[in-house]
Amino acid sequence: MLGYLPRELAKVLAPLMDRQYVECEGYVVGLPEQQLGNVLIQITVQKYQRNDDPKYSQSLWEKFISTIKSGNFQRPTIARYQKNFNLMISDVIANHTHVFSDIEKSFLASFKSLSDDGQHLFVRIYTRKGPWFRKSTISYREILDLEHAAMELKVAGYIDMLSCTVDPSEYDMKEILDVLSVPEMKEILKELQKDKTTCTRRHELVCTLLSLYHNGTCSSLPERILKLTGTCIRISKMADELLWRIQRLFFLNGDQDLSSFLLVEFGVVKFPDYARSISHRPFQERSDMLEYEEAIRVAQVMDESLDNNNMDLVTRCIDLSENRLCAMSKPENATSPEHPPSFFSRFSASWVYSKILTLGVSVYERDRRYEDAIRILKILLSKIPCDRRRGYWTLRLSVDLEHMGRPNESISISEGGVIDPWVRAGSKLALQRRVLRLSKPPRRWKIPSYANYVKRNIKEVNIEGRPLNCETGAKNLFYGYDGELCGVEQLALQYYADEGGGWQGTHSEGGIWMTIFGLLMWDIMFSDIQDVFQSKFQMAPLDLETDDFYKSRKDLAESHLKKIQDGMAEEMLIISWELHQGTTCHGVNWDRHSLTDLRAVVACIGGHRLALLLRHLAVDYRSWSSGMPDLLLWRFLDERGGGEAKLVEVKGPRDQLSEQQRAWILVLMDFGFDVEVCKVSPVVKRR
């Protein structure tokens, strides 16, 4: 299937075909170069004379002819991607004009004055992987005059053009080499080294040519390249940087791009319906945006350097981030209406630098540079007062201090972390357990109040399986009850379905809970709250993973949770499923869990326990959205629908509970859930 007829044509042709007033034959005239390009087809329509209701059939035919005459189905006046691109620029300039200089606004405004060919060419190469493109290989049906379009873009400053008359020294030679094919690179090397070429792989060929260029052996390399490629073009630096900003401001993330428009228009993706009530924008000043952009560039260099194992550059990124963060003032904890909401903090340079430094801590710890790690952790804790990552930072600081033989300081840090309101979930439990381990007399004589809670016994079940392998570090594989190979979780599911009590179940860790949360709390998530929806392409409110989510919706959420507690969860689940099925929503997986299974789970858990768990997630979604038990099991006890549920964390040989998993199990026990750990061990050979 190639696609669909244009909507205007289909609307008038379909009634004629449905009533068999016409017969159509068609064939493809030409295929597009791009995967989603328009396909040119020719259709022959044969009209039949029918006696039933001739006036109606004639009116349909005349409407069809009128549409054909008035429409231009061979070349749309404006390409869909061109319209979306202009819409994105206009929207951002209208709503974020304060983050652009007059020169930048003038530059972006000039795009609309370009010809259709110029706009088409620019958007086409902007959405392709480059950076350089051979002009001779660019061919799009909607671009009538490529030469004029390219020159127009060059004069306007939207593209750079590389030809034999341009000095190539200001450009990155590696990027230019990427335009060449492997045979072309081999041809150049063959001319230079007189049949001594031994390289065959692209990476080796590029490195060899770069080496020859930089050591002066082949200073004419650019001319040789352009002789093979002809004129090349790329997006200019100014256009690239400004459109990166436009895209980031429009979508408010680094994952979405222009393809999101097409996915929606083609019906591949549907975003939820919500009101956009906006009183604040993420960036208050132009300087805030520029600092954020610089921080993002440092983060990108950090990621690339880690991938390439360039530790010198990694260290420079860490040092730069440390200096930048130290130079920043501590953020205000203001809650006045004039002050931007706290969930905008992720769009700050300090937030990006703190992510880089958090990664830097793990780099230093890996290299046993504990003093450097300790210094960075102390900076993070002093500069970022309100952040859930404080739990991780405090825990790592306590551990690293112990590594350095400073137990008293380590225990003091742990004790401070336990009472820090931003230290939560697994990190808090880990710190509590550290305090209990380190605070033996004579360091501490008083037993902490939480000692009994932390030391509670967790129910365990032990099962045996016949292993395929017992190698350390390898994934544990066992022969299941059906004789097929499976992991420990599948083996446990088979055990619980059989001799373990006839349970049905799923291995989804937190996946099924996130789906249930999304479906039952849909109206809460997408309620009309100030500033949480800035784009029409969001699958969750901006404050979902912050304390503001529950606080700003408390009355609405509690009213909703009361209905769930009173036994209406299954009915609410069905309504939500039918209303929103297929709509993209954070955490909801429409394909993995059927409505039948979700209804069974909700029914077997019971309203009281379900309401407690959903409230727990609503209050602190980020801290508790991971680490839930592997298996969710359920079974019905009688025909009237009474049921029960069980949650199971499965551990193979040598596996241990993480602190986050242990924290979840203790919380679930508090809520009255039946929860246990299933330990799988190899069958013991008996003589």
Please write the tens of the pLDDT for every residue from 197-208. Answer: 677 788 888 888
According to DSSP, the β-strands at 460-467 and 485-486 are unpaired
User: Residue 560's CB: how many other CB atoms inside 10 A?
Assistant: 23
Q: Any bridge partners for residue 465, and if so which?
A: 682
Rounded Cα–Cα distance for residues 583 and 286 (Å): 35
Q: What is the mean pLDDT of residues 357-377?
A: 97
In the chain, the amino acid numbered 104 is E
Q: How wide is the angle at C-alpha 611 spanned by C-alphas 609 and 612, nearest 5°?
A: 65
Tokens 């037993």 belong to which residue? 447
Express each pLDDT in 565-603 by its tens digit: 999 999 999 999 999 999 999 999 999 999 999 999 999
Q: Name the CA radius of gyration of the chain, rounded.
A: 32
> Residue 617: which of 561, 673, 684 has the closest Cα?
561
Express each pLDDT in 533-563 by its tens digit: 999 999 999 999 999 999 999 999 999 999 9
pTM exceeds 0.95 for this model = no
> Which class for 470: exposed (0-12), middle (13-18), buried (19 or more C-beta within 10 A)?
exposed
> Which class for 494: exposed (0-12), middle (13-18), buried (19 or more C-beta within 10 A)?
buried
pLDDT band at 331, cuts 50/70/90? low
Express each pLDDT in 622-665 by its tens digit: 999 999 999 999 999 877 667 999 999 999 888 999 999 999 99
Residue 96 pLDDT greater than 60, yes or no: yes
